[in-house]
Structure 1
Amino acid sequence: MEQKINRKKVLVLGGSGFIGSAIVNLLISHSNKYDVWVLVHRSYNVQALESVKVIRGSLESLDLSWLDIIQPDLILHMARINGSGTRGRRRAARRGRKANLRLIDRIKLSCPEVHVIYVSGTLVYGDHGEKTVDEECALNPISYAREYIHAETPWMEALDAGEMKVSMMHPPWILGLQSWFGEFFIKFMKRHNQIPLFGNGNNWMSIIDLADCAGLILRYIESEKTNDIFNVFNPNGLIKMRDFVKLIQEETGLEIKKVPVEMITSTFDRATAEAFTFSLKSTSLHDELITTYTYKHLNPKNIIENNLSFSSL
């Protein structure tokens, strides 16, 4: 008689977003292991989510009685409330903090054993020049993280207090057409027939393809680790901004256009300028996760080639 496998119940918040969609697709491909529920806000690809259970709503409006119904084993949290400009981000962060505190309180009542994985980013570490940064690095948020970290703080406090099973993921520069790469590079190249070089290009970037970012988060889930911080990164993905731009030039043949910090600030804002000029070399104390994962796109050249292939340049 065949033994029935108990599938892990996973509730994904923000599952129709950039990173969320990639992770949900991976979970769907392992349907023998995971029973997936996805919270979606506004429109979503019905066909892509036809094999999962969909809950309509936002982080703020989520009917928390769903936690009683689902009794999830894992909550993947990628639902950030966004705002425009410094004031808008502050307001969004206050709303996000309130929604997260509300969610934490209900989790403690409804499913206290659930493992929550919150996906953040490396802007929370700040600028570190030539230094390598692992999970023990103190937080010094810059750019958009200055405001958004206030929404994340309840999860960090819960992790520090050991009162819940919480893990924080810190992915670096994720390449994808719906990411900063599509918004600031692909659009610029299509509009100006040039490649932008933001700032002087001396800052370190730790880049990773979207597929590998999602794959490493799934690798973490499968490791059964909890109460951790994990810098999701590709050890071969370290590159300076100027060399990143040169690789794009090799693929496209376009000339490079220098965009000074002052122009970034005046065109966008200070936060955007900081995001494109801060320097950070990611690494991780979870060496066993990094070394046992097989990267689909191994180095910056492979990562750039993959993303340009979808760009119609």
Structure 2
Amino acid sequence: MKILVTGASGFVGGHLIERLLKDGHDVFALVRNPKKLAIPAHERLQVVKGDLDQDNLSWVETLPADLNTCVHTAGIVHAYRTDEFYRVNTEGTRNLVNNLKKKYTSLHFVLISSLAAAGPSAGTEKRNENDMDLPVSIYGRSKKQAEEVLKEAAPKTFDLAVIRPPMVIGPRDAAVLDIFKMVQSGVILLPGFGSKEKLYSFVCVFDLVNTIVKVIEEKKTTVYYSSHPQVVTFNELILEIKKQLKKNWLIYLPMPLFLVKLLTIILDFIYKLFPHPLRLTPDKYHEFAATNWTCDGAKTEKELGQVYNYDIERTITVTLIDYKSRNWI
């Protein structure tokens, strides 16, 4: 197949491209800066320089006429300016679809969305594809709107699929690295007194890529949660990292949620004066406040034959090996 992958220099996009090349597909990798693409040159890989910010995306004309699939992984998870979420996640999707449909009458379009587009679970049950979506953050609403834009803008001749992963963990991920570093420091900041028992679904990036590949190859046209059956509490995640880091002690510092919210407001103000890389933003507060971020990947197991090979122990192991090899930790 000939496959366009947006967000090629990103965490999920990079792993996906490596798998697609290994499987013998021709990959067209969209990047803003080709120097940031961490994938070695390959005879089946063509780097496409461009972005999704304009109404007219001239780079689309460089794509082959017989392109089969577009996998849209590009997007942002953190931003201090909330309008950035809609500009990148929502309007970027709109621009991409509008330009692709000018050139292609048929295409399989796979959008990599997020559990945040659905929101946390209201009770103790895992979310599934039939539940009503109630995103609680601007990030989640921007991803939900991206899904809606896809349905509205794409022609009926396009085959559409959406994959919603929960927390994605794996080699080269800079987001979960923050948690590893916190454990390494020995001081665990808890947003809220009940944070240790908050529930999370997760998926190793290798299992997520497997879901994406199955959706591509079987040309599926529906919504899937790609999620390992195992659910972990935040404390179980911390303790697994602690075990593998061979850390002897931890100090837990719980913060009342109102103080967490106040801290995000202060950091937001500081960011306007002195930009910093901290990921604690006012928008993330709404995600921290939720107690159950779980979803059910059973549909992928039933319809795709998905096997989730990476439980939390194995996922942390492969991630930590990679972090150490890069001197990140």
Asked whether the two chains share a fold, i.e. TM above 0.5, the reply is: yes
Q: In the alignment, residue 26 of structure 2 is paired with which amino acid? A: D
Q: Which residue of 1 aligns with 2:317?
A: 305
For each residue in 1:238-271, what CA deviation from the matched residue of structure 2 results, as whole angstroms up to 9, or x when unmatched?
1121222222233332414234234543142332
Secondary structure of residue in 2 paired with 1:109: helix
Gaps of 5+ in 1: 1-7
Q: Which of residues 7, 16, 32 is equivalent to 1:23? A: 16
In structure 1, what is the Cα distance between the partners aligned to 2:253 and 2:18? 37
> Which amino acid in 2 is paired with 1:304?
I
Q: Deviations over 1:206-225 (max 9, x none)?
A: 11111111122112222221
Q: How well do the aligned residues superpose, as a CA RMSD in angstroms?
A: 2.6
Q: Is the 8 A contact 1:189 1:196 kept in 2?
A: no
Distance in 1 separating the partners of 2:215 and 2:130: 18
Partners in 1 of 2:303 and 2:41 — Cα distance? 28
Equivalent residue pairs, number: 295
Q: CA deviation at 1:197?
A: 4.0
Equivalent residue, structure 2, for 1:164: 158
Q: Which of 103, 109, 113 is the matching residue for 2:102?
A: 109
| Residue pair 1:212, 1:295 contacting (<8 A) in 2 also | yes
1-structure distance, mates of 2:206, 2:109 = 21
Shift of 1:193: 3.2
Q: SS of 2:322's equivalent?
A: coil
Distance change in 2, residues 1:245/1:262 (3 Å): farther
Contact 2:115 2:166 in 1 (8 A): yes
CA contact (8 A) 2:6 2:74 kept: yes
Could you tell me which of 186, 189, 211 is aligned with 2:180? 186
Counterpart residue number, 2:58? 63
Cα distance in structure 1, aligned partners of 2:309 and 2:189: 27
Q: Does 1:217 pair with 2:209?
A: no
Q: Distance in 2 between matches of 1:307 and 1:256?
A: 23
SS of alignment partner, residue 133 of structure 1: coil
Question: Aligned partners of 1:171 and 1:181: how far apart in 2?
Answer: 15
Partner Cα distance (2:69, 2:132) in 1:
27
- CA-to-aligned-CA distance 1:176-208 (integer Å, 9 cap, x gap): 3424311x3123234x33344443222210111
Cα distance change, pair 69–220 in 1 and its aligned pair in 2 (3 A): closer
Partner Cα distance (2:238, 2:4) in 1: 38
Q: CA contact under 8 A between 2:14 and 2:38: conserved in structure 1?
A: no
Which of 222, 228, 233 is the matching residue for 1:234? 228
Q: Do the aligned partners of 1:131 and 1:280 also contact (CA within 8 Å) in 2?
A: no
Please give the TM-score of this superposition, normalised by the length of structure 1.
Answer: 0.83
Select which of 141, 159, 165 maps to 1:146: 141
Secondary structure of the 2:200 match is strand
User: How high is the sequence identity, in percent, across the aligned residues?
Assistant: 20
Q: Distance in 2 between matches of 1:89 and 1:147?
A: 10
Shift, 1:152, TM fit: 4.0
Q: Which amino acid aligns with 2:312?
A: P
TM-score of the superposition, structure 2-length normalised? Answer: 0.79
Measured in 2, the distance between the counterparts of 1:307 and 1:12 equals 23
Residues 49-100 of structure 1: per-residue CA shift (max 9 Å, x gap): 4330011011225425427644311000012257622xx2324413554443
Q: Which position in structure 2 is the counterpart of 1:40? A: 31
Which of 290, 302, 323 is residue 288 of structure 1 equivalent to?
A: 302
Which segments of 5 or more consecutive residues in structure 2 lack a partner in the other structure? 265-279
Distance apart, 1:156 and its partner CA: 4.0
